[in-house]
Amino acid sequence: GQQLNQSPQSMFIQEGEDVSMNCTSSSIFNTWLWYKQDPGEGPVLLIALYKAGELTSNGRLTAQFGITRKDSFLNISASIPSDVGIYFCAGQRDAGGTSYGKLTFGQGTILTVHP
Amino acid sequence: GAVVSQHPSRVICKSGTSVKIECRSLDFQATTMFWYRQFPKQSLMLMATSNEGSKATYEQGVEKDKFLINHASLTLSTLTVTSAHPEDSSFYICSALGGFNYEQYFGPGTRLTVT
């Protein structure tokens, strides 16, 4: 199935640095979501974006819904060791009927934070 | 709130046998649940959408006779991997649509190993 283009694939940073990752798509999504997955666990929702141009923060995390509705970025400021994990973007079209709620995921960004 | 559980968390089975994985929404009702499959270092791939009281909708390329889905109540969906093969070994994750914000909440995943 279709996937979103997420970059970078991996990042190795020092504690305290800021991180930025983004997702792009060739088609429009009505909702953009950012998840974090720890090894052996299911994804946990970090930020949900519902409106084109929306900029939303959750603590040290900031995400934006691109104005074209085809992209989104996630920033993490002042990274700490517990930020380590895999970050996924996901898009939702809300096409209705049996397609409601279906998510399309990006390939993921593996984040490593060195103390 | 909005907790989703999966059982078992890990299972090892022999080739040719069937395995059932349960997905439960613990504190909310979910008319729609989703089943995903994730291979190591890869993203989540949607397998099927499970709707309470009706047949599941499978994604292209997913064999419905091999991956049987039953959504018999508003809090439980099951995935049965029939006649399992080693290539079915994977991390299976469910999610449930609901809760206060009507978002998708993920379970902790089930690690299936077929020997």
pLDDT of residue A101: 81
pLDDT in tens, B26-36: 989 998 999 99
pLDDT in tens, A25-79: 999 999 999 999 999 999 999 999 999 999 999 999 999 999 999 999 999 999 9
Contact A44 B106 (CB under 8 A): yes
Task: Name the pLDDT band for B54 (thresholds 50, 70, 90).
Answer: confident
Contact A108 B43 (CB under 8 A): yes
Whether B1 has a pLDDT exceeding 90, the answer reads no
CA distance B21 to B24: 10
Residue A86 near residue A110 (C-beta atoms within 8 A): yes
Contact A42 B93 (CB under 8 A): yes
Task: Name the pLDDT band for A99 (thresholds 50, 70, 90).
Answer: low
Task: Name the pLDDT band for A97 (thresholds 50, 70, 90).
Answer: low
CA distance B18 to chain A (A): 22
Whether B99 has a pLDDT exceeding 70, the answer reads yes
Chain B contact for A91 (CB, 8 A cutoff): no
For residue B41, give both structure tokens.
């270092």
Question: Nearest Cβ partner of B45 from A1, A99, A110?
Answer: A1
Contact A42 B108 (CB under 8 A): yes
Whether B41 has a pLDDT exceeding 90, the answer reads no
pLDDT of residue B86: 97
Chain B contact for A48 (CB, 8 A cutoff): yes
Mean pLDDT of B84-99: 94
Going by C-beta distance under 8 Å and a sequence separation of 6 or more, which residues neighbour residue A93? A28, A29, A30, A99, A102, A104
Mean pLDDT of A79-83: 96
Q: Where are the alpha helices (DSSP H) in B1-115?
A: none
